[in-house]
Amino acid sequence: MTDQPRMNVESFNLDHRTVVAPYVRLADHKVLPAGDVISKYDVRFTQPNVAHLEMPVVHSLEHLFAEHSRNHSGQVVDFSPMGCQTGFYLILQGDWTDEAVHDLIAATLADVVRATEVPAANEVQCGWGANHTLEGAQAAATAFLAERAAWSTVTA
């Protein structure tokens, strides 16, 4: 992106015109002062500036993935939605291979597809408990899973 100034935020330096969603991309890798390693993955569900996930879908995927991913790994730090509503950031402790990250995502999204409810989708545990759609989250998870063979391809 030679026509844009270099930004402090890694994703702002990504040319969103050249990526091809869905994909999973290592967006950042940090070694903290005590030696701990944090890896941040861009888990892109929809094509930037072409499509997006509706907020109830984003919200429900966030709840479902955050809850179910921890059944597969104790190294999940966070699963956060992107403001553009095209995907999420998955933050993991430690060094991960692409295959291991893909396996974690696939196992978790399979759990999402099988879920019978959105965890913590109520006024006590959530700031907007009515803003959820299990069916929408399951449709997005199914579509993402169907494209697993392409997850490593970030640009055309």
Q: Which helix (H) or strand (E) holds 78?
A: strand 76-81
Give the three-class secondary structure for 28: strand
Fill in the amino acid letter for 18.
T
Q: Note the pLDDT of residue 2.
A: 59
Distance in angstroms (rounded) separating the CA atoms of residues 122 and 85: 22
Q: Which helix (H) or strand (E) holds 141?
A: helix 134-146
Distance in angstroms (rounded) separating the CA atoms of residues 51 and 139: 15
DSSP structure class, residue 19: B
pLDDT means over runs of 10, the chain (156 residues) = 78 89 96 97 97 98 98 98 97 97 98 98 97 98 98 93
Q: Note the pLDDT of residue 11.
A: 81
Q: Kindly report whether the global pTM for this prediction surpasses the value 0.75.
A: yes
